[in-house]
Structure 1
Amino acid sequence: MLTVLDQGYVRLVNHMGSDLTVVNAARVSYAKESKELSERDIKLIRFLAREGHTSPFRHVMLQFEIYAPLMVARQWWKYVIGSSHMEGTGDSLDAWNESSRRYITEEPAFYVPGAGQWRGKPENSKQGSGDALEWEIGQKHTDELMRYIEEGLRKYEAALADGVCAEQARLFLPSYGMYVRWYWTSSLQAVCHFLDQRLEHDAQREIQEYAKAILELSEPLFPHSIGELRRPNGEA
């Protein structure tokens, strides 16, 4: 498990397959199977990735538990929605199960940037962020956010005390910075697609940190497949 941001984390729960799984999935049509990964097998992985023959990479699966602010979760969710189109299967090979405050009333946790973590607007884009703001401005907004969260928590707890159901009381909680927990199960191809986009320099800083954690946990398991799928522009 790797810690991300102030209170978040990514935990590798389970995985299925290896680089050898990719090789054997590709060779099954010839009724051939490798017992150990060879240099010839590594070249095959490189060929499959370079030529866009991606179905063998979908026989490898990873499962993560993720605890992240809602703003990160909602960016992440679109990879589940889009995976059926990206993989060309008609059905998504991603699964997502998220904790719900309809059923639980565990103490809410919130992402609060420190005084030196607030970023300004980008100079040449309508979205994203630029350089860090001055410490004094950042401290002002950290304090404002804390007050806002405290007020929301007070109203949430008062609603629960009055007997309001959890699924309605949660309306008082400030949403975008609130931490949520979910399981994400995905094919290796879909994981690499997520990494390609969310490790880019112009991706939101917070989700970049989660993508780095996903890569750090995944790469030792599938070093050749991830390396080739993420090789820019099919470089040799």
Structure 2
Amino acid sequence: MKKVLGNGYVRLVDVMGSDLSVVNSARVSYNKATNELRPEDEKLINFLARNDHTSPFRHATLQFEVYAPLMCARQWWKYLIGSSHQDPFTAWNESSRRYVTEEIEFYLPASDAWRSKPENSKQGSGPCLDEKIGGEALNRLLKQIDYGMENYNWAIENGVATEQARLFIPSAYGLMVRWYWTASLQGVAHFLAQRTDGHAQSEIREYANAVKELATERFPVSIAALLQNL
């Protein structure tokens, strides 16, 4: 498990396959299989990635549990459904506050972690602001959270349905949410190519780097080859 943004994390839950799965999937047309990854197999993986022969990479899958701010979750999901690469093996299941009242947590940037607006772009961010401004921003955010949680707790205590009481939960984009994400090896690599890029939002880039570390531990040759050629 990789810790991200304080209480956030990425956990690799399950894996099907290995670099060897990619090799054997590619060579099945020749009725050839191997039980050990050899140098020529690594060359084959790089050849497949370089020439966009990607179907063998879809015979391996990874399942992650992610705990992250809602702003990261929605950005993550929008990428998956809006990407030109539609991975047919993607699955997403998220915890629902209609059914559970698990502990409510929020992502709180430290006073020295509030970034400035970029000078030449409508999105993204620039250097960190002065800590005085950051401290005031954090203080205002905490006040907003306290006020919203007071109303949420009042609603729960007075019998309001959980699915409506959650309307009071404040700072929606900072609310920590939990989900399972399952994708093919190719799908994971496409996500990493986009979200580890320097133009990606800082917070989701930290999560993508955690995914990359975990995926690379299990598919070192394939992840490197795919990211080099996407």
**TM-score exceeds 0.5:** yes
Report the aligned-residue RMSD: 1.2
Partner of 2:157: 161
- Write the distance in 2 (CA, Å) between the matches of 1:112 and 1:6: 9
The answer as to whether partners of 1:80 and 1:92 remain within 8 angstroms in 2 is no
The total of aligned residue pairs comes to 229
Aligned to 2:198, the other structure's residue is in SS state coil
Tell me the distance in 2 between the aligned counterparts of 1:78 and 1:33: 38
Q: Deviations over 1:179-216 (max 9, x none)?
A: 00000011011111111111111110000000111011
2:189 to 192, 199, 219: 192
Name the counterpart of 1:207.
204
- Equivalent of residue 224 in structure 2, options 214, 224, 227: 227
Cα deviation, residue 82, structure 1: 4.1
TM-score by structure 1 length? 0.94
> Which amino acid letter does the alignment assign opposite residue 13 of structure 1?
V
The 3-state SS of whatever aligns with 1:176 is helix
Residues 95 and 184, structure 1, Cα contact 8 Å, conserved in 2: yes
1:139 aligns with 2:139: no
Gaps of 5+ in 2: none
**Structure 1 segments of 4 or more deviating over 6 A?**
none
Structure 2 residue 121 is matched with structure 1 residue 129 = no
What is the correspondence of 1:1-236 to structure 2 with a 5 Å cutoff? 1-82=1-82, 85-87=84-86, 92-174=88-170, 175-232=172-229
The amino acid across from 2:161 in the alignment is: C
Q: Give the secondary structure class of the aligned counterpart of 1:163.
A: coil
1:186 match: secondary structure: strand
Distance (whole Å) between structure 2 residues aligned to residue 108 and residue 73 of structure 1: 16
Question: What is the distance in 1 between the residues matched to 2:229 and 2:88?
Answer: 25
Output one character per residue of 1:56-85: Cα deviation in whole Å (capped at 9) or x when no partner: 0011100010000000000111243246x5
3-state SS in 1 of match to 2:89: coil
Once the two structures are aligned, what percentage of the paired residues are identical? 59
- What amino acid maps onto 2:96 in structure 1? S
